Amino acid sequence: MKSAVLTGEHFINGDVACAEGALASGCRFFAGYPITPATEIAETMSERMPQVGGIYIQMEDEMASMNAILGASSAGVKSMTATSGPGFSLMMENFGLGLMMEIPCVLVNIQRGGPSTGLPTIVGQQDMMQARWGSHGDYEVIALSPYSPQEMFDFTIKAFNLSEKYRLPVLVMADEVVGHMTEKVIIPDENEIKLVKRKKPKGPAEKYWMYKADADLVPAMASAGEGYKVIATGLTHDERGYPAMNAEAQEKLIKRLCDKILLNKEDIVEVMEYETGDAEVIVLAYGSPARSAMSAVKMARKEKIKAGLFRLITVWPFCEEQVFSLSKKARVIIVPEINNGQIVREVERAIKGKAKVISLPRLARIHTPQDILNVIREVEK
């Protein structure tokens, strides 16, 4: 049996790097349905899973794929699926089920142009708000945005660790450019990869309640077949897992589901800043536009323009406190996105009118550094 960790330097695309990150995380179950531009993840998993003693299964559709990984995780196996726009929509119902049942797993979305079938082979970032609000009800999510094949590997591991720690499905929101970009990816030795395992129950089985949280608001999770009473329901439930059809139970449960994320934002949220210390113009970006933004900022600095980059690594939960702090430094914030303007609305909300926010939308194509530099120059006049 081959090692799950292919230590060394590799020249691979982001999709393949994502699959290798999952395997290095201990993922041993993948269920999915082929869809451009995420298919290479499934293809890699179909080849690699049998080599490491895992299971790959092509499901009949994306709804079944999401349900299958929830079931595998409930049995104690780290699990993942991958998709793009239309499949992401189909997964939203069972994504909500995973949030309600607090089942750790990872859902990767390699975004393309939409809506509907849209542009299967062309880049987009049009699912960012759907990632936050795509299922119904009140909840909080964790969504990461890689901008390189290396980060596809690293962030997939990060996503599994966060899912296990906080007991929920975690999203990796990449885009077609990052998924299909081929670059050097360094895979470290297995003993250098830090992995988090879900909290398991202690004590006698008869005293275990499936959704009784500890002080960190995250319940210990018993797997089916371990001798504990495992109750699974999408209904509002009490700490035992029994349906509880009243306002008091709803308020108690939903508050905890939200607070276990919101009260731990300091641990969850990650951003990257470049030259923001004295910046008067800041480009706020995520995913592939952040690469162009980095080049644009460097070019602006050579022209003696005080520009900086603020990159969202964690998009959800949104880092509103850090974004608001930008208004104390910069007078203008530029937000390039491969959509018609989605995260820019969160930026405007967080800034509260303290700085000028400029949306720089593009559809079906990436921003060039020159595109962004031109706007930086314009606001500098």
**What are the pLDDT digits (tens) for 97-152?**
999 999 999 999 999 999 999 999 999 999 999 999 999 999 999 999 999 999 99
* Pair (39, 184) in one structural domain: yes
Residue 317 domain flag: yes
- Name the domain count of the chain: 2
Q: What integer best gives the mean pLDDT of the chain?
A: 97
Q: Report the CATH number at residue 365.
A: 3.40.50.920
Residue 218 domain flag: no
* Pair (60, 177) in one structural domain: yes
278-295 b/e with 16+ CB inside 10 Å = b? Answer: ebbbbbbbbbbbbbbbbe
Cis peptide preceding 115, ω within 30 of 0: yes
Answer with the one of 192, 226, 259 that is the final residue of a domain.
Answer: 192
* Pair (164, 276) in one structural domain: no
Of 85, 68, 86, 64, which Cα lies nearest the Cα of 77? 68
Q: What percent of the chain has pLDDT over 90?
A: 98
The confidence score (pLDDT) of residue 341 equals 98
Answer with the one of 172, 192, 212 that is the final residue of a domain.
Answer: 192
Answer whether residue 2 shows pLDDT above 90. Answer: no
Residue span of the structural domain in which 176 resides = 8-192
* Pair (180, 285) in one structural domain: no
Structure tokens at 109: 């979305």
Residue 323 domain flag: yes
* Pair (40, 161) in one structural domain: yes
* Pair (184, 41) in one structural domain: yes
- The mean per-residue pLDDT over the stretch 47-57 comes to 97
pTM: 0.98
**CA triple 7-11-13, angle to 5 deg:** 105
- The mean per-residue pLDDT over the stretch 268-277 comes to 98
* Pair (188, 276) in one structural domain: no
Chain centroid offset of residue 367 CA: 22
Residue 64 domain flag: yes
What does each C-alpha distance from 232 to 98, 216, 221, 222, 237 come to in angstroms? 10, 22, 12, 12, 10
Q: Report the CATH number at residue 59.
A: 3.40.50.970
How do strand 105-113 and strand 271-274 relate by DSSP bridges?
unpaired
pLDDT class of 95 with cuts at 50, 70, 90 = very high
* Pair (302, 161) in one structural domain: no
- The mean per-residue pLDDT over the stretch 275-284 comes to 98
* Pair (23, 159) in one structural domain: yes
Residue 292 domain flag: yes
pLDDT class of 3 with cuts at 50, 70, 90 = confident
Residue 222 domain flag: no
Q: Tens digits of per-residue pLDDT, 187-240?
A: 999 999 999 999 999 989 999 999 999 999 999 999 999 999 999 899 999 999
* Pair (43, 165) in one structural domain: yes
Residue 1 domain flag: no
* Pair (155, 283) in one structural domain: no
Q: Tens digits of per-residue pLDDT, 337-369?
A: 999 999 999 999 999 999 999 999 999 999 999
pLDDT class of 28 with cuts at 50, 70, 90 = very high
The pair phi, psi for residue 324, each rounded to 5°, is -60, -35
pLDDT class of 1 with cuts at 50, 70, 90 = low
Residue 14 domain flag: yes
The pair phi, psi for residue 214, each rounded to 5°, is -85, -170
Q: Report how far residue 276's alpha carbon sits from residue 227's, in angstroms, rounded to the nearest whole number.
A: 54
309-339 b/e with 16+ CB inside 10 Å = b? Answer: bbbbbbbbbbbbeebbebbebbebbbbbbbb
Answer whether residue 280 shows pLDDT above 70. Answer: yes
The confidence score (pLDDT) of residue 381 equals 78
DSSP SS3 for 339: coil
Q: Tens digits of per-residue pLDDT, 162-176?
A: 999 999 999 999 999
* Pair (188, 322) in one structural domain: no
Answer with the one of 192, 221, 247 that is the final residue of a domain.
Answer: 192
Question: Based on the number of CB atoms within 10 Å of its own CB, is 347 exposed (0-12), middle (13-18) or buried (19 or more)?
Answer: buried
